[in-house]
Each structure stands twice: as structure tokens, then as C-alpha cells.
Chain A
């Protein structure tokens, strides 16, 4: 058997987390170094997987399979396709950035980093799962790191509320999806949770019609779909910086990914039946999220709602059920992940130094922390879908897909949403980073070297991807081909 690279990627953070818990609590540096080493190891292996994945061959690669509970058809089954490889890479990037950003955490760093590593294992695990039971297993592991990290290390005003709201929303969504998945398990007659086998199960159209919404929306709650999005801004704002990055950057993609894998790919006829609703809600996400972001007075809430808005584009891309739409959605998942991680990182840097997130009390920070400001502006360009940045590569295909396969009015409304994005991004950039600095901010210092490394790394990825989309599009395309094939079989 080949080297089990996916297992190593998934289990490295887990093992690191357990090791961290064994380190005496006074030795904070060792804790941080262990976490960083594990994160970098996972990232390096993810990069290796990214370049070793054979795009021309497509399909599921790096497959690992072992029995887990054969009697019930549960297996330990890992593998990646063109959709999940970029997401694994994204997770690797954001986890490393998150570890770097959190270097200054002084309150029980041991527990902090251990929980963060467990969260990383959960996310990696979902992206590489080819068994539905295993997918849920990894998915639900995230519950306690998310809750405790927000509740304990989050911002004191809202952390208890935000943490509980986020956790219960996501848990409810996941158990609804679980009921749907169990129904699929019994209805398929195959008695297996293996997704590759279930792709060929050909569920009855009536069954698909009933259970598609449960599975899709159960997962899509984690993707922030309207009207179940309100956990996202509250949770992201309450969370400590690194967790905001992980939650908005990757966890929301876990939701979208689950909806794609378990609902759209396994219940294609159901997807055809319910596409109108996904399109409608996705469009509302885009426009409504942008409008609400515009009127926020809290810097972090702007970014929180911008995530809601941008995840709407992913949902719209799914709703086209077309090649372009899925390509755009796949690209958007990666691009938004990097972008929003950068946004939250900068917000955290500003808050740590200015001790406020009120936009009206900030200003002139460009001169104080130029690296952070430039990073934020680049992320802003991505967010607006500016050509030359990764956002354009992602959003343009989504609009093309919507235009071609759905009533054009949706595309027009969504493009208006992008205008609103430009408005709110320019508003915060001008208020926070330019203009005159209030007197309270006179003593604000520049960001640390580790922060600069994280910011410039994330920004570079978005620029490189914007200039050379060819680095990722063929990969995502190879995954999309399979999805389109599954959807086409029914039509």
C-alpha cells in the first residue's frame, strides 16, 4: 500500500494536539512550536497532494480504504478529487496562518492550541472523507473546539451568546443532514455509507424530492445560507482571530462541501427539483449580506456579513447545475477562504492594538501598520471581484453560469450585490486606514513579523491565483466534470 498521505495530513494535527496537552503548562513556547510544526507539516503535505494530483486522470485519487465496522457498511475511506484538493490546501494555509496570528495568546495557550489542532483535524477529515459516516464523524468533532474556543478566548462582550448560537445552529443542521443520510443509507438497499457506491444508487425520484432538502439545507446552514445565516456574523465576531479565520475561511466551506457531496452528488434528481430554492436563497444571501454589511458600525461585523454575502455566490454557483457554475463555486470556496482569513487576520491585528472595533473610532491606520492595510486592501479587491485577483476568477464563472442556465434577473441582481460589496469595502478602507488618526490611536504600534508573514503569504496566494488561474481551474474542472456527469445521468 502506498504512503497514506491523506491520513497523515488529517491525523498530524490530532497527534500534535494530544502531545500539546501533555506538555507542562508553563512551557508556552514549546506548545506554540509544536502547533506550528504540525500545521506546517500538514500544509507541506497538502501542497504535495495538490501538485501530485493527476488532473488529466481526474476522479478520486490517493484513496485509502479500510474496514471500520463492516457489518454496517462503515469504512475508513479517504480520497480526494478536483473539488476537495484545493480545499485541503486551503485548510493547510489557513491553519498555518491561524497559528502564526495566535502567537501572542497568553491565556492557557496549551488548551488553545490543542483545541485548534483538533478543529484542524476535523476540517481536513471532512474534505478527504469518502464515507458518509466518517464524514459526519469528522464533522461533529468540530463542535467542542468551536464552542470552547469562542466561549473562552473570544471577545468578552458577546462570546457566550455567539458561541452557543453558532454551536447549536451547526449541530442542528448537522443532525438534520444526518437523518437524511441515514434515510439514504436504508433506501439505497446497499447498506453502505460509501459515497462512491451511493453515487450509483439511483434513488427513486420521490425519495430524492423528500430528502434532498434535509441533507442539502442541513449542511448549507453551516455554509451560511439565508435565513439560517445569523449564526455566522455573531459567531465570527465573538471568536478569537484565528478561529474567525478558520470558521469563516474553512468551516463555512465544510458546509458547502457537505451540501455538494452528500446532497447534490448523491441525490441529483432532488437537486434538479430544488434548484429554484437554492438559487433564490443564494441570491438573497449575496444582496442581503452586502446590504447589512454596509450599515455595520463594527469593523468585524462588516467582514462577518461579507462572508454571508460571498457564500451566497457559492450557493448560486451550485444552483446553476452547470459546468461554469460549479467551477466558479469551487474557485470561490478557495478564494473566499483565503480572502476572509486575511480580512479577519487584519481585523484582529487592528483590534489588538486599537482595542476597539468601532469604525467611527478608527482611522489613519495605514501609516501605523502598512502591511496590514495593504493586505486588507488586496483582500478588498478580491472581494469586489477585481480582475487580476482570485475573486474575479471565481465570481465571473458563477455569473456566466447563472446567466446561461437561469433567468437573467438573478445574474443582474447578484452583480448589483458586487457593487454593494465595493461600497462597503471602500467605506471601511477609507474610514479605518485613511483619514486622520484619532488621538487615542497615537500609540498604536506596527504588526509583528509573524503577522507580516501571514498577511503577505495570504495576499500573495490571491494575486498569484488571480494572475495565473490556470494553476487551479483545470483541477477544479476535473472535479466538476464528474459532478456534471452525475447530474446529467438523470436528465
Chain B
């Protein structure tokens, strides 16, 4: 069997990640203990190289969408998301480098690379089997990473909890996949809708109920990855216990991967519609899909924001905030339009740099002051004005304030909701934004207003932290001001979702 060499361009990130992983594994054997920190540089720079190669050569070719025997799709959706994952992984490697235990172990980098490869496949999968394999390839390394600090019972608990939750929800989702195969006889995601439509014309509403049931099962697994309510319970405990750089990775790249699958699957199989004609399956079942997604979005926003209000630990606060953010992103998905998906993708991109900056700063401060309590942030603006400004940018971006990326993301998803005439969802979204702003500002108040005894001892930043943080802040500002390029990518990715 001969393979067109151009098809290798479709899996450039995966190939690069395998090579880089092998390199890290080899160096891990060669290098002695203190020098293993250098693996962080190797990983980060390697990921940048892969990212650059991917951006230059990986752009999809028109007419070559289904590749590798229909297992993967090579479209803008995969292209954009793979870029997001690679960026997130490289920044995570930099944040993790000087986190002792974590940064000096080659396993950390290797597991992160493996998870990233899984995510790249998740974004591209066009086949149920491939999709499930990709999800597990992502999840298993992440379970291990969460429980990385074996001597710390919280970390162990975190890894264990994440695994139990993940295994259960994957099993439910797998049940949904098997039902799809049972009903349709195909594992191609893009073939499902057509077969169900035929079933609908033959058997009527039975097909509607079958499809909705399947969608609910699949949504369980995907909501878990996206940490959306009511499958969010793991997030606070896991984020709290996991090493902070890992928690940052979980809340950004892993969440984005969950959303990539959610958007691709939902749009391909049963797109949410507000008012449909009753003669087609999508017209009949689409409004239910809208209702379910809107419900998940609403629950996520409310639960995340309300529970975040009372948190004393900043990692738990960020965990609840990330549940709420999943809710805002879901507003865009729920709108069902191309604008909505583009808004959600843009939001995910802006959210990646934003939340990585937030978790990055938390990991830096946590290393130095040995506490993740919000009260430990008192006097930070006197100790380290730069770090305080970074936190300011990240939290205000989470709160949806310009000139930071979160503002544009929020405007886009609310606009999509209004365009789809989901006014109530947009209004819920703005009320939640106000609640969210409250707790983000409370943290900033601690940073700028309160004083502490150690405020005169400056916080020392290492080089990888400075680089990663600077990259994040620049990203937050770029997505908030010169948002044209990211929006065009999001737009192209959203268009790819609808063309099949």
C-alpha cells in the first residue's frame, strides 16, 4: 500500500510529539539528576519547533479532508486546536520546570507530551474508535500527572479521584458509542446523522428518542473533560491536589480538547437549533439539544460562580471559575451558529493564555510562600509588582474586561446567543459575569490592598517562569486588542465544522 506523502503533513504534530517524546526519554536516561531540569527547555523548545512547523506546513489542503482511512479529519478545526494544545503544553513545561519534584523528573515531560498527542488526535478524530482511543491517550497520562507527587496525599487523592471519575464517564460515553454502532453500523462520526435521518423517515419519533439518548450519554463523557456541570465535581479536588502546573494544563488544554470533541460531535450528529421544521430529524431533535446544552451552560455558570464566591484556596477558586468559564463557552456552542462556534473557539484560545497565566502565577507564588490560600497573596504587589500586574491581567481577562482577551470572547458568545434569540441565556451570562467579577476583584484586592510581614522580601523569578509568564501576558493582550488573526482562525475552524 502506498501512502501519499502529503498525508504526513496532516499528522505533523503527532509525529513531532512522538519524536520529541523519544528524545526526552533518551535524555532522561543519559542525564543525571540535577541536569534533568534541562529537559524542560528541550520540551518547551521542541514544542515551539513543532508548533512552528505545524503552523507553516500543517494547514489543511482543500479536497483532502478525510485522511488516513477516514480515521482523522484534516481541517481548520483540527489545525487551530492542535496549535492551541501545543502552545499550552510548551507553557506548561516552562511553568513546571522549577517546580521541584515535578520539573526534575523526565516522566513529567513525557507524560505531558503523551497527553498532548492524545489531544491533537481528539481534535482531529472523525471515527468513534479513533476518538475513544484519543480520549484515553489524553486521559491516562493526565491521571498520572495529577497524582504525580506520590508522597503528598492530596496529590494522590487527586490522581485517584480524577481516574475514577474519568473511567466512569468514559465508560458511559463508550456505551453511547456502542449504541451508535448498533443503530447505524458505522463508526464514522460524519455518517451517523444521515443514517439516523433515514431511520427517522422510516420509523418517526423512535429515531428522535434513540438519538437524543445517545447524545446524552456522549455528553456525559465530554462534559467531564470540559469540566461542565453536572460533571464538574472532580475539578476542585483534582485542581487543588494536582501539582499546580498540571492543574493549569488540565484547566486549559484538556478542557479545550473536550470542547473540540463536543463541537465536532454535536455539529456533525445533531446540531442545536432553536426552531426547526418537524419534517427532519434535526428539526425535531435540535431544539432538545439546544435545551440540554443551555441547561449544562446555565448550571455550569451558576454552580461555578456561586461556589467560587466562598473559596479560601486560590486553586479551588480557579477550579470553580473554570467551571463557570466552561458555561460561558457553552453559550457559544448552544447558539448552534457558525458565529457561536467561532466565538467558543476564540474564547478557548483566549482562555488558554489567560488561565495558564493565572495558574502559572499561582504555581510560582505557591512555590515561594508554600501556600495556596488567598490570604497568602497579601502584599504581593509590594513584593513583586510584575507578578501582581500579571495576575491583574489574567483575572481581569477571566472577568471579561478589556483590553484583555476574555472580553472579546464574552462579547462573541453573548452576541451569538442574541443572534440565535437565546436572550435569556445571554442575560444569565451577564448576571454571572457580574458575580464572577466580584470574586476576581476580591483576589486583586488582596494582592493590592492588604499587607503582610514578608512584603519587603522580593519574590525571585527564574528564567523559564519569566518567559512563560511574559508569553501568556502578551497573548492575553494580543487576543484582547489585535484579535483579528485569532478570530479568522476561529472562523475558519467553525466553518470547517459545518462543511461535511
Q: How far is the CA of A176 from the CA of B431 in the complex (A)?
A: 9
Which A residues, 127 to 170, have Cβ-Cβ distances below 8 Å to chain B? Answer: 133, 136-138, 140-141, 143-144, 147-148, 151-152, 160, 163-164, 167-168
Q: How far is the CA of A310 from the CA of B427 in the complex (A)?
A: 31
Instruction: Fill in one digit per residue for B352-392: 1 if any A CB lies within 8 Å of its CB, else 0.
Output: 00000000000000000000000000000110010001001
**Minimum CB distance partner of A149 in chain B:** B448
Q: Looking at B381, B415, B431, B488, which has the most chain A CB atoms within 10 Å of its CB?
A: B415
Specify which of A136, A141, A147, A182 is in contact with B418 (CB 8 Å cutoff). Answer: A182
The number of residue pairs between A and B whose CB atoms lie closer than 8 Å in the complex comes to 93
B426 on the A face (CB < 8 A): yes
User: Are A179's CB and B427's CB within 8 A?
Assistant: yes
Q: How far is the CA of A110 from the CA of B448 in the complex (A)?
A: 13
A353 on the B face (CB < 8 A): no
Specify which of B407, B423, B437, B445 is in contact with A151 (CB 8 Å cutoff). Answer: B445
**Minimum CB distance partner of A147 in chain B:** B441
Main secondary structure of the interface of A (DSSP, over half): helix
B322 on the A face (CB < 8 A): no
Specify which of B437, B448, B487 is in contact with A167 (CB 8 Å cutoff). Answer: B437
A137 contact set on B, CB distance < 8 A: 402-403, 407
User: Are A175's CB and B415's CB within 8 A?
Assistant: no
**Minimum CB distance partner of A134 in chain B:** B402
Q: How far is the CA of A422 from the CA of B400 in the complex (A)?
A: 43
Assuming the contacts A141-B401, A176-B430, A182-B418, asked whether A108 and B449 have C-beta atoms less than 8 A apart, the reply is no
A152 contact set on B, CB distance < 8 A: 445, 448-449
Specify which of A69, A160, A172 is in contact with B483 (CB 8 Å cutoff). Answer: A69
**Minimum CB distance partner of B441 in chain A:** A147
A186 contact set on B, CB distance < 8 A: 415, 418-419
A343 on the B face (CB < 8 A): no
Q: How far is the CA of A122 from the CA of B411 in the complex (A)?
A: 18
Q: Looking at A133, A175, A176, A185, which has the most chain B CB atoms within 10 Å of its CB?
A: A175
Specify which of B389, B401, B430, B487 is in contact with A178 (CB 8 Å cutoff). Answer: B430
B251 on the A face (CB < 8 A): no
User: Are B483's CB and A140's CB within 8 A?
Assistant: no
A160 contact set on B, CB distance < 8 A: 445, 449
Chain A interface residue count, CB cutoff 8 Å, equals: 36
User: Are B414's CB and A144's CB within 8 A?
Assistant: no
Specify which of B385, B403, B418, B434 is in contact with A171 (CB 8 Å cutoff). Answer: B434
A355 on the B face (CB < 8 A): no
A111 on the B face (CB < 8 A): yes
A21 on the B face (CB < 8 A): yes
Which B residues, 418 to 451, have Cβ-Cβ distances below 8 Å to chain A? Answer: 418-419, 423, 426-427, 430-431, 433-434, 437-438, 441-442, 444-445, 448-449
B381 contact set on A, CB distance < 8 A: 108, 111
Assuming the contacts A148-B448, A168-B434, A183-B418, asked whether A69 and B487 have C-beta atoms less than 8 A apart, the reply is yes
User: Are A68's CB and B430's CB within 8 A?
Assistant: no
**Minimum CB distance partner of B388 in chain A:** A111
User: Are A172's CB and B434's CB within 8 A?
Assistant: yes
A25 on the B face (CB < 8 A): yes
Which B residues, 458 to 500, have Cβ-Cβ distances below 8 Å to chain A? Answer: 483-484, 487-488, 491
User: Are A140's CB and B402's CB within 8 A?
Assistant: yes
User: Are A178's CB and B441's CB within 8 A?
Assistant: no
User: Are B448's CB and A178's CB within 8 A?
Assistant: no
B396 contact set on A, CB distance < 8 A: 143-144
Expressed in whole angstroms, the minimum distance between the Cβ of B397 and any Cβ of chain A is: 11
A71 on the B face (CB < 8 A): yes
21 cross-chain CB contacts under 8 A: A21-B389, A71-B488, A110-B385, A111-B381, A133-B411, A143-B396, A143-B401, A144-B401, A147-B444, A160-B449, A167-B437, A168-B434, A168-B437, A171-B433, A178-B411, A178-B414, A179-B423, A182-B411, A182-B418, A183-B423, A186-B418
Query: Which A residues lie at the B interface, using CB under 8 A?
Result: 21, 25, 68-69, 71-72, 108, 110-111, 133, 136-138, 140-141, 143-144, 147-148, 151-152, 160, 163-164, 167-168, 171-172, 175-176, 178-179, 182-183, 185-186
